[in-house]
Amino acid sequence: MLNIQTRQEGNASVVTIQGKVNFEVTAQLRDVIRDTVTTHQPKLLVINLEGVSFIDSSGLGLLVAARNSVDKNNGKLHLCCLPAQVKKTFDQTNLTNYFSIFASEQDALRGA
């Protein structure tokens, strides 16, 4: 089961994801992210991955696509709170260097 929550913090949108991000749920997550980006056109999109137990290649693909769509709007995508298992996947695919990754949601919102 995937649990997705979104909220606005000033010019920023925060998407919080909990659960397993795999092929079965990417469509659901894709819709939420697309809606958030088109509705709010945020200067900053923060995706909080703290509650994510597992992410597969389709999930990674989705995050890459999210960054592309935010880039197109001259916005930024910040990821935060990667659990160890997810961090490992990011390291292995070198995506740690592709995304701006922050330790806490506060840091991600400040962009520091």
Partner 1 sequence: MSKGVVLVVDDEAQIRDILSFYLKRSGYQVLIAENGARAMAEMAKAQPDLILSDLRMPEMSGDELCRRVKGDPATRDTYFVLVSAMDGSASKIGGLNLGADDMIAKPFHAQEVLAKVESAFRIIAMQKEIKRQNQELTRFRERVTAELALAASLQMGLLPTVPGSLPGFRYTHRYLPAEGIGGDIYTILPLPEGGLALMLADVSGHGVTAALISAMVKTSFESQVRLGGGPLDWAQGMNRYLALNTLAEQFATAFLARLDPVQSEMRYVVAGHEAPFRLPGGARGGLHRPEPLTGQGFMLGIDEGLPFSERTAPMQRGDRLILYTDGLVEVEREDRRLLGAEGLIKVCAELPADADAAADRIIEAARDFNEPAPFTDDVTLVLLDQVD
What are the residues binding partner 1 (CB under 8 A)? 20, 23, 26, 53-54, 56-58, 60-62, 64-65, 68-69, 92-95, 97-98
C-beta closer to partner 1: residue 95 or 107: 95
Q: Output the smallest distance, CB 2 to partner 1, in A.
A: 15
Q: Output the smallest distance, CB 25 to partner 1, in A.
A: 13
Q: Output the smallest distance, CB 109 to partner 1, in A.
A: 25
Q: Which amino acid would we find at residue 1?
A: M
Please report the DSSP string for 76-107 in residue order. EEEEE---HHHHHHHHHTTGGGTSEEESSHHH
C-beta closer to partner 1: residue 32 or 65: 65
C-beta closer to partner 1: residue 9 or 31: 31
Q: Output the smallest distance, CB 10 to partner 1, in A.
A: 27
Neighbours of 45 (CB within 10 A): 26
The 8-class DSSP code of residue 23 comes to T
Which residue matches tokens 């469509």?
27
Distance of CA 106 to the CA centre of its chain: 15
